[in-house]
Amino acid sequence: MTRRFGTTSALTAIILLAGATRGAAQSAADPALVAAYDAYYRGDRAAADARFRQIAARPSDLAGAFGQLVVTHARMGPDSAESPSFEQALDGLIGRASDRYGSDRSDDEALFYLAFSYTLRSGYKFEHQKGIIGAARDGGHARGYADTYLKRHPDNGDVHLVRGLYNYFVDLAPSFVRMFRFLLFLPGGNRTTGLQDIEFAAAHGVYFGRTAQLQLVPIYGALEGRPAEAIAFGERLERELPANDDVAFALADVYISPSVEARDRAGQVYERVLDRHRADPTADGAAARARAWYGLAGARFEAWRCDEAMAILDRTIDAPPGLPDWVLPRFLLRRAGYRMLLNDRRAADDARRVRNDPAMDRWHDDADDVLKRVAKYQSQDDPALYAALIPANRLVVEGKYDEASQAYASIARGRTSEPQVRYRLAYLDFARGNGAAAAPAFQALSSTRAAPDWVRASSFLYVGRLADLAGNRQGAVKAYQKVVDDYGDERASLAARVGLITPYKRPPK
């Protein structure tokens, strides 16, 4: 419906670089730079920014200027008004580093910052939809500079992270990105060696060890099918860096992911962020609270605790001014989507409020998308039935299977042939571990023309998951690819993309 922020933006977040530092070709670490990044990793962005500014005052400095960009990027919300100035500053830094390296090919610091600056710009372009070709081209430049640097300094753990991120994610990129690689003459990636590089950076990075560890949380949790390790990494980092909100949000993403489905534990992480910033008057504190409220609303709705989710959105939307500019449009668009699913005729009102407000022009395209989806849903689907099934859906999530079965029977009396009802009953069988009953139901629904698109997409997803559980990887990939190819706008698409990468396993109890 709309691009997700926080969680999510999970797959987007894991390809972004959190920070960098001076080349480790130096005989000793720069104490001022170490202190600045230490403040950054501890979650004190204001102190980090102040220290980077002091470093940036040095003649011909690159390290402090890049550190300032790291802090700015961390503070930017979706569709941020700061984007133009950030882009200009990042382009300027790349230009300065290029000039230095062009004049002196032995300038390791310039080479180092070319690798990291191009990585940051590549991730920024991908995250903010500034052009996939430009993002891919920048990633290729970063990889080239990292390769050159590592030929000179093969044991530099920090630069292993740049090479690892490129190799890992390019190898996993959708097929259309691989097509662009040939057009742009980009080097190919390698998932295995890329992960090895990231793990090397996590163990040996002088400045980037923390960053690499944070990358491993979603990589293990979402892409490698190793959720226990992801949680261990995330929980350890949260203990060691208790004020670092990025660590908390990464851990919450793992808890709420399809590989774990611990929605209440995700909610507890968001609540810890809220408690930490409850009396924080700074802009950073306000942004953290808003992001945590947004994530908590999502966690509650995914657990079918819809009234709680709506109360969170209502309270934030009605809050007095002073929140970051992205909060009101994002919360309105999320509430529009939830109202649509709850059969609330006010759903389009929220999207129109965004669409008709000139101050929210950066979100007008998203609002248009929501309005189209609401109109289609209300005209083609059965919103009343979807909403009526929600109490039973919640019982399934809570593991109260017998009660859920009775609730479905009561709600759907006389409507058991409806695709939505058949899907919910099939999912109940799946949740109970009765794949033999669920498989034919999902298979039939995936080809039922009368079924809504989301039912067909979700049914194909579970056809794939059941195939994975049965050891039929070829059949699973075929089903996942069908979701990606034909239902790319549906919620099931992201889970299907993960399924193409890693075989599905049932979440641990």
- The ranges assigned to domains in the chain are 20-207, 411-501
Q: Are 496 and 461 in contact (CB under 8 A)?
A: yes
Residue at token pair 């090919």: 105
Output the pLDDT for position 406. Answer: 96
Question: Cβ neighbours of residue 305 under 8 Å, at least 6 residues apart?
Answer: 394
Question: What is d(CA 466, CA 120) in angstroms, rounded to the nearest whole number?
Answer: 39
CB burial string 250-286: b at 16+ within 10 A, e below = bbbbbbbbbbbbbbebbbebbebbbebbeeeeeebbb
Backbone region of residue 104 per phi and psi (left: phi > 0; alpha: psi in -120 to 50; beta: other values): beta
Residue at token pair 């129109």: 352
Closest CA to 254 of 271, 274, 269, 272: 269
Output the pLDDT for position 91. Answer: 97
Question: What is d(CA 403, CA 1) in angstroms, rounded to the nearest whole number?
Answer: 32
Q: Look at residue 492 and give its three-state secondary structure.
A: helix
Output the pLDDT for position 9. Answer: 38
Same-fold call for 20-207 versus 411-501: yes
Question: What is d(CA 148, CA 150) in angstroms, rounded to the nearest whole number?
Answer: 6
Per-residue tokens: 142: 């970063």
Closest CA to 60 of 35, 82, 93: 93
Per-residue tokens: 319: 């809050």
Task: Output the CA–CA distances (angstroms, integers) from residue 166 to 15, 147, 219, 241, in the order listed.
Answer: 9, 11, 13, 26
Question: What is d(CA 206, CA 219) in angstroms, rounded to the nearest whole number?
Answer: 21
Output the pLDDT for position 177. Answer: 55
Question: Cβ neighbours of residue 332 under 8 Å, at least 6 residues apart?
Answer: 317, 350, 351, 353, 354
Residue at token pair 């007095």: 320
Closest CA to 26 of 133, 168, 114, 152: 152
Cα angle value 3/310/399 (rounded, 5°): 90
Question: What is d(CA 153, CA 328) in angstroms, rounded to the nearest whole number?
Answer: 48
Output the pLDDT for position 82. Answer: 80
- The counts of H helices and E strands in the chain are 27, 0
Output the pLDDT for position 410. Answer: 94
Output the pLDDT for position 207. Answer: 79
Output the pLDDT for position 30. Answer: 85
Q: What's the CATH number for 411-501?
A: 1.25.40.10
Q: Are 143 and 191 in contact (CB under 8 A)?
A: no
Q: Is 418 exposed, middle or buried (0-12, 13-18, 19+ CB in 10 A)?
A: middle
Q: Is the pTM of this model over 0.75?
A: yes
Does CATH place domain 20-207 in 1.25.40?
Answer: yes
Task: Tell me the residue type at 118.
Answer: Y
Output the pLDDT for position 22. Answer: 35
> Which residue stretches of the chain have pLDDT < 70?
1-28, 174-185
